[in-house]
Amino acid sequence: MNAPRIAGRTKAAILLFVLFALVPAAATALDDPFFLVIATRILAFAIAAMALDLVLGYGAMVSFGHAAYLGFGAYAVAILTKLGISDIGLHLLAAIAFSALFAAITGAISLRTRGVYFIMITLAFAQMAYFFFVSISVLGGDDGTSLAQRSTLFGSDVLENDMAPFYAALALLVGFYALCSAIVGSRFGRVLQGTRENRLRMEAIGFSPFPYQLTAFVISGCITSVAGVLLANQAEFVSPAFMNWHRSGELIVMVVLGGVGTLTGPIGGAVVALLLEEWLAVFTEHWKLAFGLILVLVVLFSRGGVAGLIEKLKGPRT
């Protein structure tokens, strides 16, 4: 990838972060606290979509079970809270640890396959996790469970104010964007992208794709679980719906809509997808049909998603 394109995407990311930072002021000016709630949800899904793009866009691993990690993050909050452990640091640690273990085991098995078989086996593992949590009656089963309180920070209930989860989500998004950008630009990232382009050629020059892909898969799962912790705190409710295959499909839609293999694109894709969902739902209960038509048009006329469309509008660089 050439330097001007990287610089352009970095500038786009910074612009998005600045616009996000202005949301609390806009919510206050409009006297609409719900605006802040929606923005926090968008930030959480932006983290999850960006994490998925790390494996889908750069590693050519189409995971159709990535919502499982959202569920692990959410249930880490619910389970530990029921056990009397409310600190968000411990919630994050538990979510990341369990997600890393699950991703390492299932990834090691899934990466023995390719193409549609990889898609189906990741879906199968995610559905196993989904039905496991459906079967746990103490956590509400399929109905889910409400949280008695949001996570605490060093004993303080600072997250009870809707402003705090928003800024926490924004800070994590910026941090994870910097992390993913560093990964993609490193030797590790170049091997990952080389495997995406031509696996046999990478093997021929002495690189074994498996450990690189597995490591990226684990990192992606861990980052996604953090988004699950944020969503649980934002909604103060946890259910297996967090990890249903429909949710995995929504994450893929966000990545495709924003632009695969861009990191910035999935963030924009999350913004567009969730705002379209809210806006179209105002006009009709069949909003998914209209959303589907919009997605089809984006795929047909801009294979690079929103990010690709913006680059086309800018015209060729001189």
**150 phi/psi in degrees, rounded to 5:** -75, 165
Percentage of the chain with pLDDT > 70? Answer: 94
> Higher pLDDT residue, 317 or 210?
210
- The tens digit of pLDDT for each residue in 233-242 reads 998 999 998 9
**Confidence class for position 279, pLDDT limits 50, 70, 90:** confident
Q: Judging by beta carbons within 10 Å of its beta carbon (0-12, 13-18, 19+), is residue 187 exposed, middle or buried? A: exposed
pLDDT score recorded for residue 318: 44
Percentage of the chain with pLDDT > 90? Answer: 55
Q: Sketch out the chain's domains with CATH numbers.
A: 3-314 (1.10.3470)
| Beta-carbon-side half-sphere exposure of residue 23 (alpha carbons within 13 Å) | 27
Residues 58 and 193: beta-carbon distance below 8 Å: yes
**207 phi/psi in degrees, rounded to 5:** -100, 130
pLDDT score recorded for residue 3: 64
**Confidence class for position 60, pLDDT limits 50, 70, 90:** confident
DSSP helix/strand/coil, 286: coil
CA 4 to chain CA mean position, Å: 26
| pLDDT of 141 higher than 80 | yes
Look at the pTM and tell me if it is higher than 0.85.
yes
**Confidence class for position 294, pLDDT limits 50, 70, 90:** confident
| pLDDT of 162 higher than 90 | no
- The tens digit of pLDDT for each residue in 170-215 reads 999 999 999 999 999 999 999 999 988 888 888 888 888 999 999 9
Burial call 48-76: b when 16+ CB within 10 Å, e when fewer: bbbbbbbbbbbbbbbbbbbbbbbbbbbbb
| pLDDT of 227 higher than 90 | yes
Beta strands in the chain (DSSP E): 145-146, 237-238
Residues 216 and 59: beta-carbon distance below 8 Å: yes
Closest by Cα among 165, 148, 141, 150 to 239: 141
